[in-house]
Chains A and B, each alone.
Chain A
Amino acid sequence: MLCEKCHKRQATVHLTKILNNKKTEIHLCDQCAKQNEAVAFDTSFSINNFLASILDSIQDSPIKVDYVKATKCDYCGMTYGKFKQLGRLGCSKCYNAFEEKLNTLIKRIQGSESHIGKIPKRAGGSLRIKNEIKELKIKLNDAVRNEAYEEAAVLRDKIKDLEKNIKE
């Protein structure tokens, strides 16, 4: 295919643009492409656009796209469509409202889904205790394996106390 502009050189840049449901195709050679503004990339590359494009590429969710777009956070009113546009969530409850799609996105950009860093004393209260129980249980198993029954009894009581704390 020859370049649409100079009609001399081979077209190497093929651009399909869809605007208001109208599709246009442009075929240009390297040199003409450099001078054509329509070919110049949308230069405002930002983390928001980047997130939006990742969101678009996530197709493995069982939820239909149209439904997801309409999903709204009850607390702040942010819609999933708006989040896609802004790249920013409206409030902490959006994490629940958009959970299904968002967790896939988070796993994709962060490579992980679980926090293992600092835990705040107030907000993370029960989590701190749960983590402590987990560690104590490992110690308890070790103690039992080593037949250190006195130590095991102390550990068992500690775990019971902590478990009571969570329930309260």
Chain B
Amino acid sequence: MTKWMQESGPDNDIIISSRIRLARNVEDFPFPVALTKGKSKEVAKVVSDAILQGKSTLRNDFELITLEEVSQLERQVLVEKHLISPTLATNYEKGAALLNKDESVSIMINEEDHIRIQCLLPGFQLDEAWDIANKIDDVIEEEVKYAFDENLGYLTSCPTNVGTGIRASVMIHLPALTMTGYINRILQAASQIGLAVRGIYGEGTEFAGNLFQISNQLTLGRNEKDIIGNLKDVTRQIIQKERDARSTLLSNNGIQLKDRVYRAFGILCNARILSSQECMKLLSDVRLGIDVGLLEDINIDNVNEIMVMTQPAYLQKIAGKALSSNERDIRRASLVREKLGK
């Protein structure tokens, strides 16, 4: 069960998920970039023991995954569910992850930093995600002495994370702002006030299916509450703008919007071959259709789930074998039809 995929959260007509990530390092060990394989196992043990052998009740909730011991496909599925980063999947020889039962928390070990605590919740729940990540940070810190400096705060492998080590982000669906072309102004404005906007799989990826990730850029000189507060304020404004754009589209170009939504739904229900990109684009339109009340029989959580399940590794996991690109496109189409009940 992956909480963010399968449950609804506040403002989930626009915000798909909220994430808090904290970067921490264990004192007296080189950072992962300079760490030998042997030492990296030591770090993994220190960190996992802090959770699994610690005094807190968390120990019953978490499971350790040593990435070297699982298949390449399993690692890719974890990436598609956003539980580990593509970087960690590539450096699997040194890496591990602690996952809790509902997969709302993953603690990446030996990614860019020794410890990356990530809390991922459905909908707009940044404060809730921070509370959870903060508590887990406290639990680990009871057993592990962090690399910390009085002036610079938490010391991290990259100076862009030093200080609080916090990255707060929301995954946001903005089809109406994209359609109306207003999106570029929003992106520009966001970057001017210290926020970064990216594609959903992090650095260097394209905007797939009108999904954007907005996050804080600065980690030093502000406290965690202010960083999160700033992101929340801006996100709230963007939500409002997207809602306005949706209702304008509906009242001014109702027929075009309906055409687009119903066509997308029609293709998804009937296609026999679906590429990953086409699928994301059509699902984005269907999601919009549900949000503005044009499609009533489908659940939004269902769409979120399809978005993840139709990714390449996930499809192969369901199939239980490696699939060629063409085979995936056929299976993707059939999975979508099944999920939409057609």
Contact = CB atoms under 8 A, between A and B. Distances in A.
A112 B162 CA distance: 11
B54 to A, nearest CB: 14
Interface residues of A, number: 36
Contacts of B112: 88
Given A92-B147, A123-B148, A115 B220 contact: yes
A106 interface: yes
Given A47-B203, A115-B151, A117-B223, A106 B162 contact: yes
B265 interface: no
A6 interface: no
Contacts, number: 123
A121 B34 CA distance: 27
| Chain B interface, >50% SS class | loop
B152 A120 contact: no
A120 B137 CA distance: 9
A54 to B, nearest CB: 10
A151 interface: no
Interface in B27-86: 27, 29-31, 33-34
A75 B30 contact: yes
Contact of A118 (B147, B157, B158, B164): B164
A102 B221 CA distance: 16
A86 B34 CA distance: 11
Contact of A115 (B25, B33, B145, B164): B164
| Chain A interface, >50% SS class | loop
Nearest to B219: A110
Interface string A112-128: 11111111111110010
A123 B29 contact: no
A118 B141 CA distance: 12
Interface of A: 46-47, 51, 75-78, 86-92, 95, 102, 105-106, 109-124, 127, 130
Interface of B: 25, 27, 29-31, 33-34, 112, 134, 137-138, 141-142, 145-155, 157-160, 162-164, 166, 203-204, 218-224
Q: Ordered nearest first, which 10 A-B pairs have the shortest CB separation?
A: A112-B221, A115-B153, A92-B147, A117-B164, A123-B148, A90-B34, A110-B220, A92-B155, A91-B30, A117-B223
